[in-house]
Amino acid sequence: MDNPLKKIFSGFGGGADSSAVGIDIGSSAIKVVEIKRKGGRAILETYGAIALGPYGSLDVGRVTNLPVEKLAEALKEVLKQSGVISTSAGFSIPVQSSLIFTIELPIHVEGKQMAEIVSTEARKYIPVPITEVSLDYFILPKKEASFEEMSITENNAVAAVPQKPVDKTNVLVVATQNDATSKYRSIVRESQMNASFFEIEIFSSIRANFEHELSPVLLIDFGASRTKLSIIEFGMVKSYHTVDRGGADISDSISKSLSIPFSEAEKMKKEFGLFGNPAEKSLSDIIKIHVDYILSETNNVLLGYEKKYNRTISKIIFSGGGSLLKGLKEASASNFRVEIEVGLPFSKVNAPEFLSKVLETMGSEFAVALGLALRKLQ
């Protein structure tokens, strides 16, 4: 059966340019996005999502741990439903399958020597044998001398003192479990797809949500099983943390507290959020317990970063399906007191005008998949 959505997008884009597909296999759903380039612009071809719960005899919205065969089955179904015909795609790897950390080297080294030193230093942070992970690293840009430090002169005038450049190299290290990569290669093989590349989900999300931010920005990715916090500066991850609480935990609490099925709790959460349900006044309080915990943990991360780097966060960007929770932005605004915006990944691509509201409303759910597609298109 032809996908009418695919026909709409194809008519909008026109031409026979090769497309780029991004596939985000999450803990509760698989999301796919297909784009193409035409006239120097990225055009949205189609997108789709499928819940994984039913493939494990669970409710929609539940966190799953499905075997390769079931994940491949779900992937083939969502590709069919969304009308994706390309057999090559970029795939995300969940951040829980990796470690992201920064190491500081007292000297500047390059090439093979850098790889050897990073491998040696990384062993101190990785709780498994180094042979069980694949390492990648990025040299973080150095902060140039600035006039941020101030001093008081003898006549009580405030004078700007340029900071001395520090001759150290900060390196962002990403260690990915080989078992996780092997699992995703198996999913790709079982679904008769080809993987152009694998990428840790957080980097895909950054690509989809960021423009050219110069000041430090906090990206909060509200997932089903966990909330991921990334502090980004000059397009690079300076700090990364995970809060082991997500949207499925909220629905589970609602279900248990109100003695209702999980599916009903999930529906109630999405419909009312923190604004509350007049018929069930305790709903907002149940949700607030989890939101307060996540915001408190986030505040600790921000304070730690500001203390370590003497830099303040200029903006917070929300991403992920959980960012759509009603009232979340308002609750966060009073907590952080900085500019907060919900990411609009689909603003990076052209799409039919009549879909703009839909894409704006649920776009943050597809940030990772779109980020993968954008990389593949490049």
Residue 159's pLDDT is: 45
Both 312 and 250 in one domain: the answer is yes
- Domain coverage including residue 128: 102-172
Do 357 and 271 reside in the same domain of the chain?
no
For 48-52, 148-152, 278-282, 364-368, which range has the lowest pLDDT when averaged over its residues? 148-152
202 in a structural domain: no
Rounded mean pLDDT, 171-181:
93
Proportion of the chain in helix, strand, coil states, percent, rounded to 5: 45, 30, 30
Domains in the chain, number: 3
Same domain, 217 and 332: yes
How high does pLDDT run on average in the chain? 88
pLDDT digits (tens, 9 = 90+) for 202-238: 999 999 999 877 789 999 999 999 999 999 988 888 8
pLDDT at res. 316? 96
Largest CA-CA distance found in the chain, in angstroms, rounded? 81
Q: Is residue 18 part of a domain?
A: yes
Q: Does 131 lie in the same domain as 28?
A: no
Q: 361 and 322: one domain?
A: no
Write down the pLDDT at residue 8.
36
**Residue 324 within a domain:** yes
pLDDT > 90? residue 26: yes
Looking at residue 143, what is its pLDDT? 60
In a domain? residue 15: yes
- Does one domain contain both 327 and 240? yes
Contacts of 130 (CB under 8 A, 6+ apart): 119, 122, 123
- List, in order, residues 6 or more apart from 189 with CB less than 8 Å away: none
Instruction: Name the pairing type of β-strands 41-51 and 88-93.
Output: unpaired
In this structure, the answer to whether residues 41 and 114 fall within a common structural domain is no
Q: Mind giving me the DSSP string for 25-53? A: E-SSEEEEEEEEEETTEEEEEEEEEEESG
- pLDDT tens, 39-60? 888 999 999 999 999 999 999 9
How far is 377 from 35, CA to CA, in rounded Å?
8
User: Which CATH number does the domain housing residue 287 bear?
Assistant: 3.30.420.40
Q: Which residues contact 177 (CB under 8 A, 6 or more apart)?
A: 97, 98, 128, 132, 133
Residue 309 is predicted with a pLDDT of: 87
The string of pLDDT tens digits covering residues 74-112 is 999 999 999 998 999 999 999 889 999 888 887 777 777
pLDDT at 166: 54
Kindly state whether residues 336 and 223 are assigned to the same domain. Answer: yes
**Residues 230 and 300 grouped into a single domain:** yes
Let me know whether 248 and 215 are in one domain. yes
- Per residue in 187-200, pLDDT (tens digit) is 999 999 999 999 99
Mean pLDDT of 27-38: 96
- DSSP conformation letters of 278-341: TTBTTHHHHHHHHHHHHHHHHHHHHHHHHHHH-----EEEEESGGGG-TTHHHHHHHHH-SEEE
